[in-house]
A and B are shown apart, each in its own frame.
Chain A
């Protein structure tokens, strides 16, 4: 692992590795599809017309750049300057649209007519269904039965947008199993379908491709902040909003902090393993069976983490912390009441860490903090109604 690679979050090795993590651990049936996607991405990324079209979609359709909002009340209360990068204001309500618009453009360029996706909280599924509608493609979204039950609003949105939502009943019936099912479906439909993976996970080139498509979060924030923040913080499940945010600040002295759910903390509690086509840190038992993650936030209910995070973490460039469900609920309520922003349960993880750390040596008084609010909380109302008074 080279220092330069860490410092710039540049392209992975030819084998798709970030240090010892990453790679392409997929059945032979999927290797040509991954290779074709990589070639298409390299070609598109070098094509100014592709960037132009993507930039236009981001501006005219997704509503970018998203705002950078100073959280004035909280800042005063906590003694730190807290700046919120507002991905909740992007079309469809989360950062997921950044990735999906890029992948849908790529898929169209590759002549694909269908998008297959996995989703946990449903935000990636909604973004995929949205892009499919916009591009005139079919969309099939795999979602764990348990997540369908707790994210009904997003299921309805996907169906309204014309996507087929397929309930996954195997295993933990959450994002992990939806990912397995989506990859299996891709094997059978690889000619016509693009697998629109929702995070910086999966086989090469996905972790790289998705980070490049989410890089816009960090680059915009960098341009919007008057000073380089002391700390840049984002929630981490698979880790796409954090990767996109970090990419804008990795070459600065800013500390990079990823915040995981205590019950789904692959960076904190995982060991090296191979799941869903990539090698990274994975929650697993002593026999090598993948453990079921547990979080109040369906989007963080995932036992792996993107390989570049594993690399950033083990090389020391980024730090990863965990917060509990109780801290998350408290943070969500506090942000709502002090700033008038109801964020997603996922994003509230990052807020919870700031609440806990402010004024401690981990986040000294006077620090400037940039925090990515990855999405809005509408989808979580049913969960919150049961939890928050």
Chain B
């Protein structure tokens, strides 16, 4: 089944948990919760604005995790945190003047305690990931690694080996944000990743419409939808409105799933004959 992971900026509105529940009701497979950072290096204008709005409201990692903990009984799908290195490494006890926080070990434990099961940190590439990887493993958090169109084969293989849960394919050489068409780099990247790992490959960045999501899902195993949804939230759309949006993406992916059995059956028949 093609996976649908919508993204939601934690704390973007006072009723932000209602958007999460709407995503769940609309058939999301998991939700990525953005823990807003003041200087989001890989985000475009929309997600940046969403983060700013959440921060202006006073959202913090702590407040977002508290909201999630309180809503835990109503949430039945996996939650994956997405944030930047500074929040993850904050209070690193090995530094000379530690602030409160406790470094990636404490950060990952806090995620696990709040019921999250995954973590994406776009500005921690594999070269810098060792300690975070160990901390995530110890806390039972799947550290999802990203691959980009320019990632060379040897790095791609290592990303494939070390990622947990799925591989996040950054489908375009750009920041997050809506685009008119799915990038031409998306499908080739998905194919290259699938060649080096058995993990599911989810495509993200610039996937803005159900049609684009369907095209992307044919190349990979699912999609992450971020800016297209956050723009609606910033424009004042209600959780109900967003349920409709996410349901449209769900329907497009389900349609792709309908296409699959024929090919799959053919493969099975071929296999039976062997």
Contact = CB atoms under 8 A, between A and B. Distances in A.
Identify the 7 closest CB pairs spanning chains A and B, nearest first.
A272-B95, A274-B85, A29-B148, A288-B90, A28-B148, A289-B38, A27-B42
Contacts of B124: 25
B101 A288 contact: yes
Interface string B14-41: 0000000000000000000000011111
Contacts of A272: 89, 92, 95-99
21 contacts: A20-B95, A24-B125, A25-B85, A25-B128, A26-B123, A27-B42, A28-B125, A29-B170, A171-B39, A187-B175, A272-B96, A275-B86, A276-B39, A276-B41, A277-B41, A277-B123, A288-B86, A289-B38, A290-B38, A290-B86, A314-B96
Interface stretch (B150-158, B207-215, B234-242): B150-158
B59 to A, nearest CB: 9
A11 interface: no
Interface in B52-87: 52, 55, 60-62, 84-87
A31 B155 contact: yes
Interface in A16-32: 20, 23-29, 31-32
Given A25-B123, A273-B89, A314-B96, A290 B146 contact: no
Given A187-B174, A287-B61, A289-B38, A24 B127 contact: yes
A184 B44 contact: yes
Interface in B81-140: 84-87, 89-90, 92, 94-101, 122-125, 127-128
A71 B173 CA distance: 52
Interface residues of B, number: 50
Interface string A86-97: 000000000000
A171 B55 CA distance: 11
B48 interface: yes
B57 to A, nearest CB: 13
A239 B45 CA distance: 29
Contact of A187 (B37, B38, B173): B173
A190 B92 contact: no
A286 interface: yes
A274 B175 contact: no
A26 B170 CA distance: 14
Give the residue among A28, A171, A176, A187 with the most B Cβ atoms within 10 A: A28
Contacts of A25: 85, 123-125, 128
A27 B86 contact: no
A184 B66 CA distance: 32
Given A24-B125, A32-B152, 20 more contacts: A15-B127, A25-B125, A26-B41, A27-B146, A28-B147, A28-B148, A28-B151, A29-B42, A31-B148, A171-B52, A176-B39, A184-B42, A184-B44, A272-B98, A274-B86, A277-B123, A284-B99, A288-B61, A289-B38, A314-B96
Interface string A152-168: 00000000000000000
Interface string A168-192: 0011000011001001100110110
Contacts of B44: 184
Given A282-B86, A290-B39, A28 B170 contact: yes
A27 B95 contact: no
Contacts of B43: 184
B272 to A, nearest CB: 41
A289 B175 contact: no
A332 B182 CA distance: 55
Contacts of B45: 170
